[in-house]
Structure 1
Amino acid sequence: MADIFEPRGINKRAGDHRIDGWVGGRADTWSGHYLEAAASRAQADAYQMLADNAHAATIATQLRDKDAATARHEQAAAAGLSLLPLTPGIGMEIHGVDMANATDGQVNVIWDLLMEHKVVFFRDQEHTSREEHMAFAKRFADIGLAYGRQQALGANPDLGKHPEILKLYSDEARPFAAANWHSDVSWSDRPPLGSLLLSRKSPPVGGDTMFADSYAHWNNLAPALKEFLEGRVATHGRASRDEVEHPICRTHPVTGRKALYINPTFTNAIVGMEPADSARLLSELYAKMYSTPEYCCRFRWRDGSVAMWDNRSCQHYAVADFWPHDRFMERVTLLDRNEDNEVPFWIDLLGERHYGRVLTSEEEISTPIGGSTRTIMD
């Protein structure tokens, strides 16, 4: 199979002299490659012109991005916040947040930054009580039981007084919890919007969490592979539960952007492909998705640190390198207030939504999947 990702500078197909998907960098580096292969000076001139145009477009985009970034910093400052981007594409650390006393203006800025940067981080929240943790989450979304849905509670017996808070212990008995790339609960017919994770106890070294940009994963696929995957579904599941099908190309209900919605933890197969072909393609996709550092950020935890992420636009990996130290986190699950947006969907060129379905041993449940099992904590 040909490389499933095109070069990061130029996406070029045989017989197609357009340069699309430009993501930055010097045009002459890539154009030189094609100039050497050009059959004539005319072709070389054509390639150079296209490369120059792409470079000019990149500069224009960078200027727009710079203006937008300036505006974001000004809006944050007006709300009493300061910003520290972890990378240009994903991850924003926000300073000045007090989860127990956040203003409406701060909440609005945080939400906008979450939609743009996929994951945001706060520091110094160790004073936050469980009640304040949940109250802050409710400023953005409904909150559900630990896994979002009532029938999933058996997966975490330590729910205690607060069933809406998932307690995540990593110790001698479970040193590798969540040490794999995943989008939370993609095995559910209604995966949660996101998560609000508070560190109660962090190891002195190690135990970082990595986040990967699912928009970038999709955007940088080779055009032919995008065409092949768009509109297809993949099965997701976990032990003792019915499988669900979700679109491989997922449309974000807020931003309208497309994301690659598969992960090696819960995705089982691409529907409509032979098992061996599906396994090979998924393996190649994962190899590319998680070996591109430009699509990732990494967060170093301290006691009282918080990460808030959007499961629809990013994935994460809890790095298991802190043995023999312990780690204790508490997570609140965020549910979209608009139930129509909870079930993953793909929007076609006509603007129509296409959903997946739940697969049981006896029947296939028609779309849209989900229903009355959604449990909201008031």
Structure 2
Amino acid sequence: MATETITGSETASQTLLLEQKARSNGDVYRYAALLPHFSNDRYPPLGPFQFSDPGHRALSHSNPRAFLDNASNIIHLTPALGTEVHGVNLANLSGDHKDQLALEVARRGLLVFRDQSDFIDKGGDFYKQWGSHFGRLHIHPTSGHPDGLPEIHLVYKDANSTFNFEVNDSVTTTLWHSDVSYELQPPGLTTFFLLSQPSTGGDTLFTSQVSTLKKFSPPFVTFLRTLKAVHSGVEQAEFSRSGKRGGIVRREPVENIHPVIRRHPVTGEEALYVNKQFTRRIVGLKKEESDTILNFLYDHVAKSGDCQARVHWTPNTVVLWDNRVTAHSAIIDYGESKERRHGARITPQAERPIPAWDGLKLDDSKV
């Protein structure tokens, strides 16, 4: 699959070109204001912040699932992962209902809401207000964002342009990951929706990292609890610096150490927390030992279809997942159609990953 090389100096003209394409044949693209923009702004390193999970508040509610009371249909995608909801308007949820939503996403890993045109059409200021309920909004160091809205991460691909982090020399575009896991405080509840989608293809795969962990033998899980791994944003930044993805690096890349198994602060569930895109090595092990364990874990995640769910995108679908207990991969199978896929992600940060084993110390870890 070929990707177009775009340098930082070309990004403004590239955005203009996208807008012109969006107006081809006299049609005005409804979401032209949300097309990718690559500003040259620079940001300082992200500092730590105090995080309080809204799902905790929902635990004290008399009915922690009251936000689903008016749903017309609720369908579990799989027994352990994913629920599809019809008849609930996310744009109208109260603060208490958002807390309940956070708890349900933590428990199910993934929620899919159909018929959410009200939510999608409310625009950037609403997206920021929505996401801020669930945590501090992450500004991606390299991705495109709507002009003036750096808190909204965009994915974009059409017949001539792509701003996704794609690997061209692989036999597959499937790349399992948890979003920006290299941050000291990676994302928790995450919201994503497509503004434009191909007529077929472009689905998203999700996997339950709670379920993948449960497949292992108890002695192996006990061993994994003692391990911590380096997660790195360096490769992603170098990809942009090479002129791809938009050619912009707004914040210097970081590496942080996280537990290989983390504990969710609300549900208490343990989840595997490594991913092929950002995890680089296990601390304290020799290279061959680290590579063997990580490659085994990556292979297990990729092959465990019984832990996975697949989201098919229909217009006005909004998907929420918990990045702490799931991993996902885009499916880029629509390139020959030359159709546009334009998505927006709202990405609140959560707590620094909590080790499943209380004896695992991270504070004095050095990358």
TM-score of the two chains, using structure 1 as the length reference: 0.67
After TM superposition, the structure 1 stretch with the greater mean CA deviation from structure 2, 77-86 or 268-277, is: 77-86
TM-aligned CA deviation for residue 289 of structure 1: 1.7
- Give the structure with the larger strand fraction: 1
Residue pair 1:90, 1:296 contacting (<8 A) in 2 also: yes
User: C-alpha separation between the residues in 2 aligned to 1:125 and 1:145?
Assistant: 23
Structure 1, residues 209-254: CA drift from partner, whole Å, max 9, x if none?
Answer: 0110011111211222212211210111022534211100111111
Kindly indicate whether structure 1 or structure 2 has the higher relative contact order, using CA contacts under 8 Å at least 6 residues apart.
2
Residue pair 1:215, 1:313 contacting (<8 A) in 2 also: yes
Name the counterpart of 1:293. Answer: 305
Change (3 A) 1:176 1:156: closer
Any unmatched runs of 5+ in structure 1?
1-71, 337-341, 361-378
The alignment of Structure 1 onto Structure 2 pairs a total of residues equal to 276
- The 5-angstrom pairing of residues 93-172 of structure 1 reads 93-104=84-95, 106-127=97-118, 128-130=121-123, 131-139=125-133, 141-147=134-140, 152=141, 155-171=142-158, 172=160
User: C-alpha separation between the residues in 1 aligned to 2:98 and 2:111?
Assistant: 12
After TM superposition, the structure 1 stretch with the greater mean CA deviation from structure 2, 307-316 or 194-203, is: 194-203
Name the counterpart of 1:265. Answer: 277
Change (3 A) 1:203 1:157: closer
TM-aligned CA deviation for residue 107 of structure 1: 3.0
Q: Does 1:321 align with 2:333?
A: yes
TM-aligned CA deviation for residue 102 of structure 1: 2.1
After TM superposition, the structure 1 stretch with the greater mean CA deviation from structure 2, 155-164 or 193-202, is: 155-164
Q: Does 1:173 align with 2:187?
A: no
Residue pair 1:246, 1:356 contacting (<8 A) in 2 also: no
User: C-alpha separation between the residues in 1 aligned to 2:100 and 2:186?
Assistant: 25
Q: Does 1:306 align with 2:313?
A: no
User: C-alpha separation between the residues in 2 aligned to 1:320 and 1:169?
Assistant: 11
Change (3 A) 1:76 1:83: farther
User: C-alpha separation between the residues in 2 aligned to 1:157 and 1:167?
Assistant: 6
Change (3 A) 1:78 1:173: closer
Q: Does 1:219 align with 2:206?
A: no
Amino acid of the structure 1 residue aligned with 2:157:
S
Q: Does 1:248 align with 2:248?
A: no
Change (3 A) 1:195 1:227: same
Name the counterpart of 2:58. Answer: none
Structure 1, residues 243-299: CA drift from partner, whole Å, max 9, x if none?
Answer: 211100111111111111000000111112211221122111211222111100000
Residue pair 2:138, 2:349 contacting (<8 A) in 1 also: no
Residue pair 1:199, 1:330 contacting (<8 A) in 2 also: yes
User: C-alpha separation between the residues in 1 aligned to 2:163 and 2:356?
Assistant: 40
- The 5-angstrom pairing of residues 176-187 of structure 1 reads 177=165, 179-187=174-182
- Measured on the aligned residues, the alpha-carbon RMSD in Å equals 2.6
Residue pair 2:177, 2:277 contacting (<8 A) in 1 also: yes
TM-aligned CA deviation for residue 145 of structure 1: 3.6
Amino acid of the structure 2 residue aligned with 1:249:
I
Any unmatched runs of 5+ in structure 2?
1-62, 167-173, 238-252
User: C-alpha separation between the residues in 2 aligned to 1:156 and 1:78?
Assistant: 37
Name the counterpart of 2:46. Answer: none
Out of 280, 283, 305, the position equivalent to 2:295 is 283
Name the counterpart of 2:25. Answer: none
**Secondary structure at the residue paired with 1:210?**
strand
After TM superposition, the structure 1 stretch with the greater mean CA deviation from structure 2, 188-197 or 170-179, is: 170-179
**Secondary structure at the residue paired with 2:321?**
strand
Change (3 A) 1:252 1:77: closer
Residue pair 1:242, 1:358 contacting (<8 A) in 2 also: no
Residue pair 1:125, 1:304 contacting (<8 A) in 2 also: yes
User: C-alpha separation between the residues in 1 aligned to 2:95 and 2:144?
Assistant: 35
User: C-alpha separation between the residues in 1 aligned to 2:155 and 2:320?
Assistant: 15
- The 5-angstrom pairing of residues 41-52 of structure 1 reads none
TM-aligned CA deviation for residue 354 of structure 1: 3.6
TM-aligned CA deviation for residue 133 of structure 1: 2.8
